[in-house]
């Protein structure tokens, strides 16, 4: 039992590193960038509150679990802004290696369970994962809207980019939420471009 607890503690201690990964998105008061630990907590809360808007019924507990672990790979890989310029295949390889290492700290049964959830989130094929991906994409949009465009000008974001990189994924799992945001996005771009 002691070895199991030691492995679990090693994983939990490693997960603390997510608090050191800064994201492109600013927190709502605009004072600083959020870290990936804060993002994971916030979108888990989003899932609890917004699950009724999922296009298909979802298991909220599973969605929350996915969202709490989905960015752990950023401890090794760093945050990759959706509007940034990067090599997708290279980043996927780095994230796969990070998942192997980080989830590998856990006892075998938990390692396999967590890794399966992470893989399911990444594949975005199940109803739970599709909704989880939607919520992951929604929160930064709201942060940018609430902070006067946030980092959109910094990344030269266009309405077309938002639609193709964000909107498609949000609409696939939570179309009512995307429809709600589209008018706010349009208004922001109409006033600021």
Contact 121, 73 (CB under 8 A): no
pLDDT confidence bin for 84, thresholds 50/70/90:
confident
Is residue 43, in this structure, part of any structural domain at all?
Answer: yes
CATH number at residue 156: 1.10.3210.10
- Tally the domains of the chain: 1
pLDDT digits (tens, 9 = 90+) for 111-125: 999 999 999 999 999
Tell me the three state secondary structure of residue 57. coil
Q: What are 166's two structure tokens?
A: 């964000």
pLDDT digits (tens, 9 = 90+) for 13-62: 999 999 999 999 999 999 999 999 999 999 999 999 999 999 999 999 99
Is residue 28, in this structure, part of any structural domain at all?
Answer: no
Q: How many Cα atoms within 13 Å fall on the side-chain side of residue 170?
A: 23
Percentage of the residues of the chain whose pLDDT score is greater than 90: 92
Is residue 86, in this structure, part of any structural domain at all?
Answer: yes
Is residue 50, in this structure, part of any structural domain at all?
Answer: yes
What is the rounded distance in angstroms from the CA atom of residue 110 to the CA atom of residue 166?
31
Residue 83: domain span: 2-22+34-192
This prediction has a pTM of: 0.94
């Amino acid at each position: 039992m002691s070895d199991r607890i030691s492995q679990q503690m090693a994983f939990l201690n490693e997960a603390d590193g997510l608090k050191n990964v800064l994201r492109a998105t600013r927190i709502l008061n605009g004072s600083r960038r959020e870290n990936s630990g804060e993002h994971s907590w916030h979108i888990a809360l989003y899932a609890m509150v917004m699950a009724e808007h999922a296009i298909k019924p979802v298991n909220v507990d599973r969605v929350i679990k996915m969202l709490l672990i989905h960015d752990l790979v950023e401890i090794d890989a760093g945050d990759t802004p959706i509007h940034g310029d990067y090599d997708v295949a290279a980043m996927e390889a780095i994230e796969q290696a990070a998942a192997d290492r980080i989830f590998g700290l856990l006892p075998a049964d938990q390692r396999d369970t967590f890794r399966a959830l992470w893989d399911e989130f990444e594949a975005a094929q199940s109803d739970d994962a599709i909704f989880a991906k939607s919520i992951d994409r929604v929160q930064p949009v709201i942060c940018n809207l609430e902070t006067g465009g946030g980092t959109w000008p910094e990344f030269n974001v266009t309405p077309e980019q938002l639609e193709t990189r964000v909107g498609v994924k949000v609409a696939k799992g939570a179309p009512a939420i995307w429809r709600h945001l589209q008018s706010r996005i349009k208004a922001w771009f109409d006033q600021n471009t």
